Structures are given as C-alpha cells and as structure tokens.
Amino acid sequence: MSIWRLVIREIRYRRLNFALAVLSVMAAAGCLVTTVTLLRGHDLRTRAILGAREAETADRVRERQEEADRRAAELNESFRKIMLKFGYNLLVLPAGENVVDYQIQGAPSQEMDESAVRTLAESGIMTVRHLLPILQQKQVLVFGDRRQEVFLIGTRGEVPEGLRDPRQPIQPAVAPGGLIVGQDVHRQLGVDVGDKVKVVDAEFTVSKVYEARGTSDDSSVWIDLAAAQRLLGKPGKINGILALSCICTHAELEDIKKEIERILPGTQVRTMVTSATIRYESRVRAAEEAEAQVRLAREQGAADMERERRARENLRGQIEALAAWVVPLVLVAAAAWMALLAFGNVRERTSEIGILRALGLRSRQIFAVFLARAFIVGVAGACLGYGAGFLAASAWREAPPPADLFIPWLPAVVLLLAPALSVLAGWVPAMIAAGRDPAIVLREQ
C-alpha cells in the first residue's frame, strides 16, 4: 500500500468530484491553449494574407512590366519597320560644298562625278541600302503664263548596290520627257498630270504629283538625271548622292559617314533626317511610362499591404486585450472552483483523515495524499484542456492546418502550469486536512 494507491482508489471512488475538478482545470488550460493557439493562427493567417498580397503585387508589377515591355517592343517593332523603309538618310556632298550656303540655298552649288555613285555601290558597304544620285538646282518652272521658282532635281532612280540583288527602287526613276511635281508646286501653279510645263526652255509633261511630305520635296520637281545634266550644262555631273535607309544604330552613324568619306575621297556626308532621335525619344518616353506604371503598381501594392497589416495588427490587439482579462479570469475562477471542490473533498473525508492519523500516518503524509490528488487533477486537466483547446482553435474557419498551429513549447507550459495551479488551489485544503486533530475527529464520530 502506498500513498499513490490510496489516491488512485479515492479518485476512482469519488469520480464526480474528480471529474468536476478536472473539468475546471480543463476549462482553464483549454482557454489558455485556445487563446495562444488562436493568436498563432492569427499570426500565420496574417503572414499568409500579407504573403498573398505581396505575391499579388509582384504579379501586378510583373504584368505591368510585361505590358510595358510588350508596348515598348511593339513601339520598337513599329519604328524598326518604319526605319526599314526610311532608316537613316545620308547626303553625300562634294567636299567643297559650303553646308551653310547649302542650308540657306536649299541646293548644293558644287558638283562631283556621277561615277562616284558606282564606286560607292561597288565598294561593298553593307549598311547603305539605297543610293540615289541627284543633280539639284533652283530653276523657274513655267506653266502657261505662270512662273514659279522650284528645286529642280535630276534623278535616275536607285543605283542597286553592287554585291546585292537589285531591289525595288526607293525613288522611282523619271521617264525622259516626264516631270514629277511636289504638292506645293502642284497647288501653286495648278499643274496636274498631263500638263505641259517648261524648264530652261525645255518642255516636259507632268507624269505624277506627289502627296504632301512636309519637306522641301513639296517645292521640288523631278526630271531624268541625264536630261537635267543636259539642261543645266553639266554632263556626267551630280551634286549629291542620297544614301537612304542606312541599317545602323545612331551610335554607328559617325563610323558610316567616315567609311563613306574614305570610299569617296573629296566628299562630305551629312545626316538628313532626325527619325533616329524621334525613335530614341519615343523609346525613352515608353520606358518612362512603363516605369511609372510599374512604380504605381508597386506603390499601390505596398499601400494595400500596409493597410492589411494594420487591420490585422488591430484585430490581434483586440484579441490580446480580450484574452488579457478573460484568461486570468478563467484561471482565477477555475482555481476558486478547484479550491471549493478540494475543501468539499477534505470535509467528506474527515473520518478517513482521523483514522489514517490514528494508524500512524504523519501529517505531511496526509498533506501529500491531498496534494497528489490535486496534481493528478492538474495533469489530467492539462492533457484534456490542451486537446480541447487545440481542437477549438483548429475549428476556427480561418485556421491553418493543425501541424502549423502546433506550438512546441505550449504543451510543456500547460503541463507545468495546470498542475501548479491545481496544487496551488488544493494547498490550503490539504493543509487543513493535514492539521486535523484526529482525536477531535474520532471523538465526534
């Protein structure tokens, strides 16, 4: 026979008292476990929500980035296609040409041999797609009794590059005797296709009217190069070569110019159009817009996350505030209830205490009998309370999986705290039991 056997038998005998005591410990432990586990669940949920929000933001940023990239790529492609047609346009002029005069006059004043075009075409330069020899000079166009000074341009269409297949001429050749007029000339003089006009006493028939280009072309007329050379008294001469649709980047342009000047000594090369700058600016603008979109998406995502985080923190604070008084209240109530039950147990066992003392049990053994009972109550309540509390927390509809909810240190804490609480609540009743005078008990019986 031992104290433990006495305790176990007594517990089996007074099941209701034991069950009620265990229930109170279970309620206290369960309340604690549920609260702590729910807080952990809340934290995990918060982390998951913020993680999802972060992922959403990242997706949105990626989508915006992809959209921006796609638009930039489309823009790039458009410009690439455009530049395939126009590219960088260069003008090869005689070295002696005063470019200021050229800009002011709108036409070159110096000439060079027409053979320069063939030389350039056969040089194998890969970056120049089209070569157009021109002989240009200001002349008066006469249509009936109307006169108009225009840029007369003699051209013979494209000279194909020597090592490549012939391609569609970028500038159609003008048939001998024919003349093409620019849009402003067409409007100013009222000339149209089929009309007869005169230039330096030579008569031409208008074969085509160009659409408006918004350049000096609108004030120009084109005739066959040989006719122009004859008309202007400059046989075998030209005063410019248009190198059109150069396949290169803006950065490579200077190298190409130098290469052409090397192939054609005695010439100078000028860039004619600024489409590359437009292209560059467009790219920058597109990139800036894309960056702004991405930045906006990032800022919106960050703001959303911050708002969500604050809301969750606020909710957690409310749960903590509630738990801060509910949990202690439940613990105190449970302790009081356990103490009452323990007092009842002592009263009920008065006779037993008296005879145990008479049979030689020391007061500390009686104390141990009651404290051991309280300890068992605490352990049983802790186990059941932990299980019930964990199940209750797991039943929360937003609860993460139980494996994630599990807090490794919590069972140990509950297993220490609940028996301690139970023993504490049973301490005074146990002391009263241990201090009972057996003589009084036995005499009263």
| Contact footprint for other proteins (CB under 8 A) | 1-3, 5-6, 9-10, 12-14, 351-352, 354-365, 438-439, 442-443, 445
- Shortest distance, CB of residue 376 to other proteins, whole angstroms? 15
- Shortest distance, CB of residue 339 to other proteins, whole angstroms? 22
Q: Which residue's CB is nearer to other proteins, number 5 or number 397?
A: 5
Q: Which residue's CB is nearer to other proteins, number 168 or number 445?
A: 445
CB atoms within 10 A of CB 197: 22
- Shortest distance, CB of residue 387 to other proteins, whole angstroms? 28
- Shortest distance, CB of residue 442 to other proteins, whole angstroms? 7
Q: Which residue's CB is nearer to other proteins, number 107 or number 361?
A: 361
- Shortest distance, CB of residue 351 to other proteins, whole angstroms? 6
- Shortest distance, CB of residue 439 to other proteins, whole angstroms? 4
Q: Which residue's CB is nearer to other proteins, number 15 or number 213?
A: 15
**What is the chain's alpha carbon radius of gyration, rounded to the nearest angstrom?**
51
The torsion angles phi and psi of 272, rounded to 5 degrees, stand at: -95, -40
Q: Which residue's CB is nearer to other proteins, number 278 or number 355?
A: 355
